[in-house]
Amino acid sequence: MSTSTAPIAASSESKKPRLLVQKYGGTSVGTIERIQAVAQRVAAARQAGFHVVVVASAMSGETNRLLALGQKLSARPDPREMDALVATGEQVSVALLAIALNEIGVPARSFLGHQVRLRTDSSFMKARIRGIDAERLIETAREGIVPVVAGFQGIDDQGNTTTLGRGGSDTTAVAIAAALGQAVPCEIYTDVDGVYTADPNVCPTARKVKRISYEEMLELASLGAKVLQIRSVELAMKYAVPVHVRSSFSDAEGTWVVNEDESLESVVVAGVTSDKNEAKVTIRRVEDKPGRAAGLFEALAEARISVDMIIQNPSPDGSTDMTFTVSKGELAGAREIAGKVFQSHELFVREDVVKVSIVGLGMRSHAGVAAKMFRILADEGINIEAITTSEIKVSCLVAAKYHELAVRALHDGFGLGE
Amino acid sequence: MSTSTAPIAASSESKKPRLLVQKYGGTSVGTIERIQAVAQRVAAARQAGFHVVVVASAMSGETNRLLALGQKLSARPDPREMDALVATGEQVSVALLAIALNEIGVPARSFLGHQVRLRTDSSFMKARIRGIDAERLIETAREGIVPVVAGFQGIDDQGNTTTLGRGGSDTTAVAIAAALGQAVPCEIYTDVDGVYTADPNVCPTARKVKRISYEEMLELASLGAKVLQIRSVELAMKYAVPVHVRSSFSDAEGTWVVNEDESLESVVVAGVTSDKNEAKVTIRRVEDKPGRAAGLFEALAEARISVDMIIQNPSPDGSTDMTFTVSKGELAGAREIAGKVFQSHELFVREDVVKVSIVGLGMRSHAGVAAKMFRILADEGINIEAITTSEIKVSCLVAAKYHELAVRALHDGFGLGE
């Protein structure tokens, strides 16, 4: 720790290549030209002194093309075989990317799920990662070779190919960054250049966020902002992986998803988000007796239907209206079950609704945020059909026609455009 | 061995399901409809009491599409990555075929090279099989599940994906049949319905052969009849695997490739074949001294250029004309080497030639077959430019314009159409 040796040590330390994971999504590797551009980007990171480990998705459109082939053969294709089928998409793009890298003088080698022993459970089409053998990747990177790992895929204990569900390559990338060591950053290249305070297509004054906490990102992801797969954010939070969401079409800084205490901006509300994929079911005048709600939601859970919002307002006459929301894809099933449980009751379904939400860590310490949200909506004459809250989120269901109006009013009302 | 128990034993024996390998080529699985037809055929074999193990190629056109993608990125794409790339073709077709089988109530499971531990050397793009773990396949088949194995691909000692070269799925199928047990038959489904006495497109009187020996098939395969990959025939011969070449578009019996002693038809000449892919190089008036030929052919061997026919006719004046043939793809390289070795000599190249061959085990015990061939060609006024023979084959190089005439004359002259 003498002053004379410190600079030398620091200098040699700064020259030691650091590990970096870069994940490229489907549009980033969608054509031969885009793959060549990605290779140049990897080369630049290497030039900047990083040992890069690359994770790639299938070329855009490829996964859907493969799914369609399988679905032509069967209305309910075998999940194990669908995974074997769609996993080829990533295999093609990592091989092509490795070829492109070798071509410009960057030694590279593709790896599939079984080759890095990315182990998962056996839930085909939505498998969960159990572990990764990072040693082979670290060794390869240390040899100066760029490992290009197929995202989205793994193997189970029997050696079957599994896939991680839509957006699973994000999770692969974060899991690899976590396995490579402490605080290895993970760059997620996508077709948007970061996380915004609202959807820029809906709200023209939306602003790119420089830093956001894992918790806020989790709420935004689950609320319909399709930037990152939820499980990748959960994993990043668990292992404190710094995630950098950015565009492969520009060199601009994107959004860092980091620990709360590293988040520079301490704001009450970080963003406004909306989800058009919910539908509302109301059962009228249910006898307000214990067990009635339980009976319904148990039946829904048994059918694996996820319920989002639940409202129950007892009237003085001893009856109650029960309202809940589900995703539109599960509406038919939910309606059938509710009809069976409450055979003699009126059932109302509403699909022209949108869920508008505000998310922010600051809510935990600021009172009155929900009240302010309701006031902003009321001032625009927007009626609230249902409310749900978490520690760092408030969601309101409103008529679909108010979608843009509600998002813009909340965005401006909470001063997010400034 | 008592007469009373024998029939029962025989009956129970005949009911025990026998193993059968079925290999389907690219055109056989070229569309969703063809894949459904293949599934029906597998179901029928199962119904007939067989434990079927299926091997499938990539859908026709797919391998070329993938190769083209890689070649767009690099003039010399990394062979390891090209193998990772093209191996996806088979992965898609086996998954689809397994889905199609499950759909019609035939339990099926796809397997990739690494899942059946089909081990090869590390010669990417032309790897050779070292071994297969047949137990998993046998177990799966015994459970009543049809294993659908990806042809063409394997893994090396480091777990890298390898491929076996053009037509490699034939070799996969034969290797699996050999690994499953003694005399397990291997059906090769292709777009022709068997092996013919000559190419039916060239010779209208060509006749399908019912049985042919491995040795004859080897000569036919190496002489340009593209029915089976040569290595698959070598492997079938080594392990006495009965191979049945047949069409996936009909139920007709095809051609059995079997041991010589099982071959019913004992004919002198089994077939006539031709190869338009050779070119002839002649070096004029070389001094007839020891070592001149060796110098040339060593240099060619060093450049990995395969020489087919070689003729050297010394003249009384002490000089000699040296002639050899190579495949047209290697002509440029061969010409350059010959030019270097014999700098002051005239070099003639001829590309408008065709090699016409007769093949038959009977030649070993019948004298005068070659003489009869030369006579038939001479009677048609066809000049022979070069001759090469093996124990069971005679080949003549003739001008390309005589291609059809020579094949038809030999086919009729040896009575093959009868």
Distance in angstroms (rounded) separating the CA atoms of residues B73 and B78: 10
Chain A partners of B82 at a C-beta cutoff of 8 Å?
A: 95, 99
Distance in angstroms (rounded) separating the CA atoms of residues B168 and B229: 7
Nearest by CB to residue B84, choosing from A70, A80, A95, is A95
Distance in angstroms (rounded) separating the CA atoms of residues B233 and A24: 44
Kindly indicate the confidence band of residue B90, based on its pLDDT and cuts at 50, 70 and 90. very high
Output phi, psi for B318, to 5 deg.
Answer: 90, 0
Distance in angstroms (rounded) separating the CA atoms of residues B179 and B167: 19
Q: Residue B187's pLDDT is what?
A: 97
State the Rg of chain B over Cα. 24
Would you say residue A69 has pLDDT above 90?
yes
Greater pLDDT, A16 or A418: A418
Amino acid identity at A197: T
Do the strands A319-327 and A278-287 form a parallel or antiparallel pair, or are they unpaired? antiparallel
Which of A93-97, A215-219, B219-223, B371-375 reaches the highest mean pLDDT? A93-97
Return the beta strands (E) in B333-417 as ranges. 347-350, 353-359, 386-390, 393-399
Report chain A's terminal Cα–Cα distance, integer Å. Answer: 46
Per the CB < 8 A criterion, the answer to whether B278 and B350 are in contact is: no
Q: Residue B265's pLDDT is what?
A: 55
Kindly indicate the confidence band of residue A5, based on its pLDDT and cuts at 50, 70 and 90. very low
Rounded to a whole number of angstroms, the distance from the CA of A238 to the nearest CA of chain B is 31
Mean pLDDT over the full length of chain A? 90
Amino acid identity at B262: E
Kindly indicate the confidence band of residue A13, based on its pLDDT and cuts at 50, 70 and 90. very low
**Neighbouring-strand partners of residue B150:** B56
Rounded to a whole number of angstroms, the distance from the CA of A143 to the nearest CA of chain B is 16
Q: Which of B118, B92, B97 is nearest to B107 (CA)?
A: B97
Mean local confidence (pLDDT), B375-391? 92
Mean local confidence (pLDDT), B271-296? 88
Per residue in B117-156, pLDDT (tens digit) is 999 999 999 999 999 999 999 999 999 999 999 999 999 9
For residue B53, give the 3-state DSSP assignment.
strand
Subunit contact B99:A109, Cβ cutoff 8 A: no
Nearest by CB to residue B96, choosing from A70, A95, A112, is A70
Would you say residue A238 has pLDDT above 90?
yes
- For B41, B185, B190, B244, B254, the CA distances from B251, given in Å and listed in that order, are 9, 17, 12, 12, 9
| Dihedral (Cα; A130, A136, A139, A141), 10-degree rounding | -80
Q: Which of B158, B76, B279 is nearest to A99 (CA)?
A: B76
Query: Residue B356 has what DSSP assignment?
Result: E
Nearest by CB to residue A99, choosing from B78, B98, B159, is B78
Would you say residue A284 has pLDDT above 70?
yes
Rounded to a whole number of angstroms, the distance from the CA of B375 to the nearest CA of chain A is 55
Distance in angstroms (rounded) separating the CA atoms of residues B109 and A309: 41
Greater pLDDT, A17 or A126: A126
Name which of A318-327, A373-382, B97-106, B183-192 the model is least confident about. A318-327
Distance in angstroms (rounded) separating the CA atoms of residues A359 and A374: 14
pLDDT exceeding 90 applies to what percent of chain B?
72
Q: Residue A12's pLDDT is what?
A: 38
Per residue in A71-107, pLDDT (tens digit) is 999 999 999 999 999 999 999 999 999 999 999 999 9
Nearest by CB to residue A95, choosing from B81, B92, B102, is B81
Would you say residue A285 has pLDDT above 90?
no
Subunit contact A103:B73, Cβ cutoff 8 A: yes
Kindly indicate the confidence band of residue A288, based on its pLDDT and cuts at 50, 70 and 90. confident
Using the Cα atoms of residue B98, residue A121, residue A114 and residue A46 in order, give the sign of their dihedral.
Answer: positive
Output phi, psi for B187, to 5 deg.
Answer: -90, 125
Among B38, B59, B78, the residue to mutate for chain A (most A Cβ within 10 A): B78
Would you say residue B15 has pLDDT above 60?
no
Return the beta strands (E) in B166-265 as ranges. 186-190, 211-213, 243-247, 255-258
Would you say residue A124 has pLDDT above 60?
yes
Would you identify the CATH topology of the domain B17-191? Carbamate kinase (3.40.1160)
Greater pLDDT, B254 or B292: B254
Subunit contact A78:B102, Cβ cutoff 8 A: yes
Mean local confidence (pLDDT), A314-343? 88
Would you say residue A134 has pLDDT above 70?
yes
| Domain layout of chain A by residue ranges | 17-191
| Dihedral (Cα; B325, B328, B331, B332), 10-degree rounding | 170
- For A199, A211, A273, the CA distances from A205, given in Å and listed in that order, are 9, 18, 14
Q: Which of B23, B58, B229 is nearest to B127 (CA)?
A: B229
Per residue in B196-205, pLDDT (tens digit) is 999 988 999 9
> Which residue matches tokens 């793809």?
B329
Distance in angstroms (rounded) separating the CA atoms of residues B144 and B12: 18
Chain B partners of A81 at a C-beta cutoff of 8 Å?
A: 95-96, 98-99, 102, 109-110
DSSP secondary structure, B276-317, as one string: --EEEEEEEEEE--TTHHHHHHHHHHHTTPPEEEEEEEE-TT
Chain A partners of B66 at a C-beta cutoff of 8 Å?
A: 92
Kindly indicate the confidence band of residue B8, based on its pLDDT and cuts at 50, 70 and 90. very low
Amino acid identity at A40: Q
Subunit contact B85:A91, Cβ cutoff 8 A: yes
Subunit contact A95:B85, Cβ cutoff 8 A: yes
Amino acid identity at B114: H
**Separation of CA A274 from chain center:** 15
Distance in angstroms (rounded) separating the CA atoms of residues B287 and B65: 50
Q: Which of A315, A325, A306, A326 is nearest to A286 (CA)?
A: A315
Where are the alpha helices (H) located in A189-274, listed in sequence order? 214-222, 230-239
Q: Is the pTM of this model over 0.80?
A: yes
| Dihedral (Cα; A65, A70, A76, A82), 10-degree rounding | -90
Nearest by CB to residue A73, choosing from B70, B73, B96, is B96
